[in-house]
Amino acid sequence: MPIDMERPPLRIVISDPRAGEKIVKVKVVGGDEAELELKPTMIKKKDQERKELPIALVNPKLVKELSLDEIGVMTLRFRKDEKKINIPFRVIAKEDIPEDTVKINMELLGEAVGELEAEAEAFRAKAWQIAVDEGVAIKLAGYKIKDIINGELIGMPGLKFVITGGTDATGIPMRSDLPGATRYRLLLSGPPGFLPRERGERRRKMVRGKVIPDPRGERRKTALAQLNVAIYYGDKK
C-alpha cells in the first residue's frame, strides 16, 4: 500500500483562550435554507473527520450576548439519554431569527437528537476540531511549537494561531524543548509525555521534537495525527 494511503488525516484542534463561561439556553429548530446546506465536509462520523463547521443562524442579540462576533464559532450542547452532545457551528446573524432560537440544518438536528426541535445550551466555543487535506499538512511542515501561523492555512482567514503542541498516530506528544521532528526516548519527570503519580517519579518515555514533519516522509505509525493550536490575540487582553 502506498505511503500516502497509510497516513491518517491531520486533525487540527483549535482552542479559544477568550471563550468565557457564559451559557444561554436556546430552542434549536431545523431548517432547510440554502445557507444551512449540510455539505459532506461538515459531517463527522466514526470513520470520517469534519473538515469545516456547519452553519447556525442566530439573532444578532445572541451574537452580542455570547461575544460571537469576534471569532464566530459557537457550541450547542444537547442532552440525549443522559448523554451530552456538543456540536460546534459557525454562526451567521439574522434579524428574523427569534432571540432565544437557533436554526440549524434539519438533517443534522435529526441525527443529533432525533427531533426537529430541541432544547440546548449555547456558548462561545472553547475548542473545536477540523481535519485538513494533505496539501495543507505539507504547507504546515517546518513550523514548530510557539510559531504563529496564518488562519488562511486552516480555512479561517483573518485570524492567527499559535502552535501549542500535537501528537502522532500512536499518541506520542511533541515537546517544545526538543529540536526537529524526530522521536526520542528520554527520561522524563513531567509532561508532556509523562504524568508522575508520585513526587520525584521519573520514567523513560517516547516523545517527539517540536517541528511539524512533512507528511510525505511519514508512515501511519509515525505520522503527526493531531496538531493543537490556539487563537492568537497578540498583546490584546
pLDDT of residue 207: 86
* pLDDT digits 0-9 by tens, 127-150: 999 999 999 999 999 999 999 999
Dump the DSSP string for 147-194: -EEEGGGGT-TT-EEEEEEEEETT-PBB-TTS-SS-EEEEEESSSSS-
Residue 223 phi/psi, 5-degree rounding, is -65, 145
2 exposure class (CB count in 10 Å sphere: 0-12, 13-18, 19+): exposed
**C-alpha dihedral, 119 to 122 to 126 to 127, nearest 10°:** 50
pLDDT of residue 14: 97
Interior/surface letters 185-221, b for 16+ CB within 10 angstroms, e for the rest: ebebeeebbbeeeeeeeeeebebbbbbbbebeebeee
Rg (CA), the chain: 20
* pLDDT digits 0-9 by tens, 97-125: 999 999 999 999 999 898 889 999 999 99
20-125: CATH topology is Barwin-like endoglucanases (2.40.40)
pLDDT of residue 18: 94
CB 42 within 8 A of CB 99: no
The domain locations on the chain are 20-125, 130-231
pLDDT of residue 194: 67
The amino acid at 43 = I
For residues 13-33, give the mean pLDDT: 95
pTM of model > 0.85: yes
C-alpha cell at 190: 513531567
What are the distances in angstroms from CA 56 to CA 26, 80, 111, 112?
12, 20, 15, 14
* Measured distance CA(197)–CA(104) in Å, rounded: 45
* pLDDT digits 0-9 by tens, 50-100: 999 999 999 999 999 999 998 999 999 999 888 899 999 999 999 999 999
pLDDT of residue 201: 75
pLDDT of residue 3: 44
* Measured distance CA(226)–CA(224) in Å, rounded: 6
* Measured distance CA(235)–CA(237) in Å, rounded: 6
* pLDDT digits 0-9 by tens, 148-185: 999 999 989 999 999 999 999 888 999 998 899 888 88
What are the distances in angstroms from CA 163 to CA 44, 127, 149, 189?
24, 14, 8, 23
What are the distances in angstroms from CA 218 to CA 15, 168, 221?
26, 10, 8
